[in-house]
Amino acid sequence: MSSELTGHAGELAVSVAQAHGVETMFTLSGAHVFPLYDGAVKAETPMRLLDVRHEQTAAFAAEATGKLTRVPGLAVLTAGPGATNGLSAVAQAQFAGSPMVVVGGRAPQSRWGTGALQELDQPPIFAPVSKLARTIPTADVVLDGMHEAFVTAGSSHRGPVFVDVPMDELFNSATGTLPAVAPQRGADPDPDAIATVAGLLAAAVRPVMILGTDVWADRAEEAALRFVETARIPAITNGMGRGIVPGGHPLLVTKARSHALKEADLVVVVGTPLDFRLGYGVFGDAKVVHVADSPGQVSTHAALAGSVSGDLTSVFDGLLNALQAPDWSAWTGDLQGAVAAAVQRDAALLGAEADPIHPARIYGELVPRLADDAVVIGDGGDFVSFAGKFVEPKRPGGWLDPGPYGCLGAGLGAAIAARLARPSAQVVLLLGDGAAGFSLMDVDTLVRHNLPVVMVMGNNSAWGLEKGPMQMLYGYDVIADLAPQTGYDAVVRALGGGGETVTDPREVGPALDRAFASGVPYLVNVITDVNATYPRNSFGV
């Protein structure tokens, strides 16, 4: 139902955002966007203002909010450096398909071209990493311009939108109609394409299904699990696809990923690009099917035996209706055996008594302490790669990582978003000591806004993801070391949180218990072995 509104442009913009389900404005104070704050404070239901210490954190928090809630997150960034400080988070959202709207301040239109403070034409900077980047030129088109921004961000394929509004126009008043907000749904999939994929599945002897972030983003997690369980097909999950098939489920074979993808004769990839994380879509001699939420996301570089695009719930249900699934129990049993063997191999690392501490020991202590509804956030290189190996969420929507853009420094913003979106859940931020340097000051934000988060750091005093490969290539490494055993927990304590340094593997568990019980932002700074690197076959090239 539409309604007539009168107010300054900041009030009108906030009204649109609230109509689209936004509850929080992430920002760092700047005069170019003051009317948006006034609109948030004076709204009939005031919008929460969450102010941070660096604009990157505001933008990363908005990006993570879009991931977690599946409603576009909102970041408001002042003009010039305020806006450009959020650029990496916008790029991350574009790569990950995260719905978010960034509203930038802009120098006054009446002064444009005369050298006003922070006068910069920002949309062309954001355009290459946004679904839409534009200036909303006047107050009287703010309602429609903001509505377009949120609809664009939240429709398949989801992603970021950047808009800015001239400062003088943001203060101006206008009257207009609040656009009606309708539920968004992807296109109906092509029945012939569904039939082709169903035929490939029916003919397969050793199929594997990979479920990625867009399955969650498209609200298709229930349909995906229904398909996996009804068809009895082995599944691997990645990104925010983690938890769709719960950890420990007999059809979840992520721990046997290498074996599964090497031996499969058909790999069906749903909701994630065929990029470096998936070998660019080459899985031995297997046929490959790519399923995406929109046509533009279907791979154009991989040799595909079939593809489908559209609303992913409709795709899963359509495949289920079209498929007479063969008996894949022998293949599933083989993979379950490989999973069991992997679990047995992992047990030694998870319980390692090594000194310095092996990073896997941290997960041996952490995983049993995670509740089913925990939100786990990864921000780091090798240390977070171990998390991907050992942490298997029990529910969907409980895992956040940077996605294919691989941007360090996203973690504090994501932790802020998770604490707001899931107020009763455990929120655990996994930090490398390198990654922490990008954003640890925003622990101050957690403290000021009373947002308790458990932060667990694997501190190997190095850029581990670079140190090992450089040694492998050249036989030496440079600029890959950080100060040894830095007391990052002291930084957290200075900012009003809690924390401790752990050097004994037997103390990791008790330290985690203290962190969960503390009720404050708490950093467990675990000194780990720099030589205990994550084994990997590729470096993203």
Burial tier of 414 (Cβ tally within 10 Å: 0-12, 13-18, 19+): buried
- pLDDT tens column, 330-365: 999 999 999 999 999 999 999 999 999 999 999 999
> Which residues are bridge partners to 235 per DSSP?
209, 252
pLDDT in tens, 236-262: 999 999 999 999 999 999 999 999 999
pLDDT in tens, 487-521: 999 999 999 999 999 999 999 999 999 999 999 99
The Cα 281–Cα 147 span in angstroms is: 37
This prediction's pTM: 0.96
Round to whole Å and give the CA distance between 443 and 452.
Answer: 10
Angle at 426 between CA 26 and CA 448, to 5 degrees: 40
Pair type for strands 3-8 and 173-178:
antiparallel
Reported as a single tens digit per residue, the pLDDT across 54-87 is 999 999 999 999 999 999 999 999 999 999 999 9
**Read out DSSP for 316-384?**
HHHHHHH------HHHHHHHHHHHHHHHHHHHHHHT---SSBPHHHHHHHHGGG--TT-EEEEESSHHH
pLDDT tens digits along 402-414: 899 999 999 999 9
pLDDT at 1: 46
CB of 484 closer than 8 Å to CB of 461? yes
Average pLDDT, the chain: 96
**pLDDT tens digit sequence for 286-342:** 999 999 999 999 999 999 999 999 999 999 999 999 999 899 999 999 999 999 999
50 strand-pairing partners: 26
Instruction: Tell me the β-bridge partners of 163.
Output: 103, 134
The model's pLDDT over 88-118, given as tens digits with 9 standing for 90+, comes to 999 999 999 999 999 999 999 999 999 999 9
Confidence of residue 538 (pLDDT cuts 50, 70, 90): low
| Average confidence (pLDDT) over 384-407 | 94
Q: How many alpha carbons lie under 13 Å from residue 31 in its C-beta half-sphere?
A: 5
Q: Which residues pair with 457 in a beta bridge?
A: 431, 525
Cβ–Cβ < 8 Å for 390, 379: no
Query: Is residue 510 classed exposed, middle or buried when 0-12, 13-18 and 19+ CB atoms within 10 A define those classes?
Result: middle
Task: State how far the alpha carbon of 511 is from the alpha carbons of 128, 358, 376, 492, in Å.
Answer: 44, 16, 18, 15
| Average pLDDT value for residue range 179-202 | 95
- Report pLDDT for 2: 54
**CA separation for the pair 329, 340 (Å, rounded):** 16
pLDDT digits (tens, 9 = 90+) for 416-456: 999 999 999 999 999 999 999 999 999 999 999 999 999 99
